[in-house]
Homo-oligomer: A and B are copies of this chain.
Amino acid sequence: MTQLNETHAPRLTSWVTSANNNSDFPIQNLPFAVFRRSGSDEVMRGGVAIGDQVLDMAAAAGAGVFEGEALAAAKAAAQSSLNALMALGPDTNAALRLALSRALRSGAAAQSSLANCLVPQAAVEYDLPCRIGDYTDFYTSIHHATAIGSLFRPDSPLLPNYKWVPIGYHGRASTIGVSGQTFPRPVGQTKAPDANEPSFGPCKRLDYELEMGIFVGRGTALGERIDIDAAEAHVFGLCLLNDWSARDIQAWEYQPLGPFLAKNFASTISPWIITLEALAPYRSAFERPAEDPQPLPYLTSDFNTAHGNIDIQLECLIETAQMRAAGEAPARLSSSSFRHSYWTAAQMLTHHSVTGCAMNPGDLLGSGTQSGPQPEEAGSILELTGGGKRPITLPNGEQRTFLEDGDSIVMRGYCQRDGAARIGFGEVVATVLPARV
């Protein structure tokens, strides 16, 4: 999955000219989403981003452009959820990528057939890209784990298992929504440190978490383990993920079985899934600090050591209701990168399945909050404000310790370096509504 081929060539351009101007979606990207025209009652179907357009895969699959494996994959990509496409596995997915690259390239004969299969992104609405059977959230930033741990457990911020076990927990699939999601501020039980009894009411410490989402491609049966060297063949692609968190609910409920209501009210993903193949130019070595233990053999492979990391630049912004009303641009809260992850996507998937846990196409793994080593690279407001003790001042003078009603959080991601095409993730936006009381 790190082999470069003709689809990655930086010089490639598309006859969809908006793809050629430092777009998130150049011809080297070709991510998948599920969409329809905004406000229409059209059926949802798969689409591929190219520049500022969506290639409607339902239309494209019938345009006579694709054949063989690529046609089979194009038909799967035309469905209202991408699970069938994901299940086809990397070779068939690669065949479709190659065919799409050739058909969308400048000068391609397919231009005449596909030109009327385009819909402007500005005119579409998205759905979840697939049925997410199970959602698992990991905890792979050691910087986040240490920072959060010092707030929840000052005596033992980083627990003894952290450097050995890719810590994760099962999440709630029913409340995962696509970018544009809104949700009421959760209510629930909390207990002030000095109170004798818990109280009930709207969450006062509402937070976001800046994460990567990893979609499982080809699945496994119960009892089957995914070898570390085979793991990437079971990954379809990546998206952006905001794993909303209610910190005050979490603090009171999470012992001994982990976060539950603190996390089950909403999680928001970006509409576009960037395939692992598109990310090939941005792979790098997976390195552990020399003083840290090396992973156990089942989590180690030469491939993972040489190529495990993916340098995805991440940024998180806030747009308050006041900023929105004034027409001001969202303000940046922090920047980070997926390269700070203490565990790779392959290690997460291998660990997850080591017990024989069945993985299904469309299952979603969250990376955990991707905080970087510097305090300003924190992926949650809890970290940025030192547990709510040091308010942030926004450019318009507003202050925040935690999120307020009407706040939208925007997350963006992209890969960029000299000698390779930019691979963008687009963005994920979601907005906090007032609690229903």
- Which chain A residues numbered 22 to 66 have a C-beta less than 8 Å away from chain B? none
Q: Which residue of B lies closest to A246 (CB)?
A: B355
Partner of A259, one of B223, B246, B258, B298: B258
A351 within 8 A of B: yes
- Residues on B with C-beta less than 8 A from A174 are 133-134, 222, 357-360, 363
| CA distance in complex: A90, B136 (Å) | 32
Known contacts A257-B259, A264-B357: does B175 contact A222 (CB below 8 Å)? yes
A256 within 8 A of B: yes
- Residues on B with C-beta less than 8 A from A173 are 133-134, 173
| CA distance in complex: A169, B136 (Å) | 12
| CA distance in complex: A169, B173 (Å) | 13
Q: Are B165 and A189 in contact (CB under 8 A)?
A: yes
Q: Are A175 and B354 in contact (CB under 8 A)?
A: no
Q: Are A170 and B296 in contact (CB under 8 A)?
A: no
| CA distance in complex: A202, B223 (Å) | 13
A198 within 8 A of B: yes
A397 within 8 A of B: no
Q: Are A296 and B359 in contact (CB under 8 A)?
A: no
- Residues on B with C-beta less than 8 A from A252 are 161, 165
- Residues on B with C-beta less than 8 A from A359 are 174
| A350 shortest CB reach to chain B, Å | 11
Q: Are A134 and B172 in contact (CB under 8 A)?
A: yes
- Which chain A residues numbered 275 to 300 have a C-beta less than 8 Å away from chain B? 293, 296-298
Partner of A253, one of B165, B177, B198, B298: B165
Q: Are A355 and B169 in contact (CB under 8 A)?
A: no
- Which chain A residues numbered 228 to 272 have a C-beta less than 8 Å away from chain B? 246, 249, 252-261, 264-266
- Residues on B with C-beta less than 8 A from A360 are 174
Q: Which residue of B lies closest to A199 (CB)?
A: B296
> Chain B interface: which of A7-15, A116-124, A180-188, A382-390?
A180-188
- Residues on B with C-beta less than 8 A from A183 are 222-223, 356
- Residues on B with C-beta less than 8 A from A165 are 189, 198, 252-253
- Residues on B with C-beta less than 8 A from A161 are 191, 198, 252-253, 255
* Binary CB contact string for chain A from 330 to 368 against chain B (1 if under 8 A, 0 otherwise): 000000000000000000000110111111100100000
Q: Are A159 and B256 in contact (CB under 8 A)?
A: yes
A412 within 8 A of B: no
- Residues on B with C-beta less than 8 A from A308 are none
Q: Are B172 and A171 in contact (CB under 8 A)?
A: no
| CA distance in complex: A174, B186 (Å) | 27
Partner of A260, one of B153, B164, B168, B187: B168
A139 within 8 A of B: yes
Q: Are A297 and B200 in contact (CB under 8 A)?
A: yes
- Residues on B with C-beta less than 8 A from A358 are 174-175
| A149 shortest CB reach to chain B, Å | 7
A152 within 8 A of B: yes
| CA distance in complex: A253, B257 (Å) | 11
| CA distance in complex: A71, B202 (Å) | 43
Q: Are B259 and A296 in contact (CB under 8 A)?
A: no
Q: Which 10 pairs from chain A and chain B are nearest by CB? A: A258-B258, A186-B355, A265-B355, A169-B257, A170-B170, A264-B357, A257-B258, A174-B358, A184-B223, A261-B355
Question: Can you list 29 A-B pairs with a CB-CB distance of less than 8 A?
Answer: A134-B172, A134-B174, A153-B256, A161-B252, A165-B198, A167-B260, A168-B257, A169-B169, A169-B170, A169-B257, A169-B258, A170-B172, A170-B264, A174-B222, A174-B360, A175-B356, A183-B223, A186-B356, A188-B354, A200-B296, A200-B297, A254-B256, A254-B257, A256-B258, A257-B259, A261-B352, A261-B357, A264-B357, A356-B436
